[in-house]
Amino acid sequence: METQKGRFLKDLLRRTNQKSAQRFEEAMRGIVEKARCYYAESLVISDQEFLKMMVLDGCFIVELFAKLSDESCNDSLQSMNRLCLNNILEDLILVENQLPFFVLWEFLGIASQDRRTWIEGIIVSYKGVMPKLKNLGSMPEGKQGERHVKWDFIRSATKLREAGIKFRRGNEHDLFDIKFENGTLYIPPVNFEDRIELLYFNIIAYEQFDNSGSRKRLTEYVTVMDFLIDTEKDVELLCQKDIMYHWLGTDEAAAKMFNRLGSELLINSDFFFYAKLFNNVNKHCHEPWNRRMASLRHNYFNTPWALISFFAAAFLLLLTILQTTFAIFPRS
């Protein structure tokens, strides 16, 4: 990668008609102290070494997305195979690999007058690499969330089914559009693979560190799914209902992935988007009639043969009653 970074720096200088990286070094020198403050751990390298590292890495990222947004530069990416390129793009998402964005913005101002095209290059590149970004959806602020609604946890999917809750495939165009209507929980379908854990972990990390007061959409969604998924039996149920698909080998692996994602999440309990949904689910489960019907289905109608046996017994009982009636009151 150091060889690639050096090559990309030369390409950037050639493309922008510069003989050296002096302008980038000068720009970095003015923000080096600010940039160092963005790293949690104490850096044991000198300012000069840090400056060179930022210039090399920052110019590499600027040139990478410049190439990816320009079809005429495809030939210059041939030295990287597709797997290598995908690994680079995935590594750049990791929180621990981030360069402060103002550093990239500063370098971009030197390298290009068209920052918009560069940003579009990033979006297009990640659409092809990360799984199903298009269905992250949106969550209108006033759609369901209410402030200071008291709520309690919901049980896992298999436990809710035992309590009479049905599960159905929901709106496939909006990941966050989870609904509960007439005893049925509608959950948008989602496809999970190894890379999606990386994506979710890092989006959640950004949301956890965001103090702007904006909604933490993915954090809340993962919180819901973590409640629903405790074991592989919960994953199996959601897969049977065409709500969940995964390429993780086993249902147990999928369950453990969600348990990891949901570990130690911080949510705003006073403004939890799904608070009303949780309350409605719990209210349905606690209704005596719903609990009796769920118990009846679970204990006596849990298999097709049990249902057939019930109707057969009912039919025989009806015949016995009719026979007895005709014996007591014979037809004249």
Residue 198: per-residue pLDDT: 82
Label residue 181 exposed, middle or buried (CB < 10 Å: 0-12, 13-18, 19+).
exposed
Q: Residues near 62 by Cβ (< 8 Å), separated by ≥ 6? A: 12, 104, 107, 108, 111, 112, 118
Res. 203: pLDDT tops 60:
yes
| Interval 257-271: pLDDT, tens | 889 988 878 887 778
Residue 75: per-residue pLDDT: 60
Residue 241: per-residue pLDDT: 94
**Which of these ranges, 22-36, 187-201, 317-331, has the smallest mean pLDDT?**
317-331
Region 176-199: mean pLDDT is: 88
Residue 111: per-residue pLDDT: 86
Residue 317: per-residue pLDDT: 79
**Which of these ranges, 68-77, 84-93, 293-302, has the smallest mean pLDDT?**
293-302
Res. 237: pLDDT tops 90:
yes
Instruction: Give the strand pairing for 166-169 and 184-187.
Output: parallel
Residue 147: per-residue pLDDT: 62
Pairwise pLDDT comparison (186 vs 129), residue with the higher score: 186
How large a percentage of the chain has pLDDT more than 90? 28
Alpha-carbon distances of 330 from 299, 318, 324, rounded to whole Å: 40, 17, 10
CA atoms within 13 A on the CB side of 166: 10
Res. 181: pLDDT tops 90:
yes
Residue 142: per-residue pLDDT: 45
Pairwise pLDDT comparison (142 vs 154), residue with the higher score: 154
Res. 138: pLDDT tops 60:
no
The top-scoring range by mean pLDDT among 88-102, 112-126, 137-151 is: 88-102
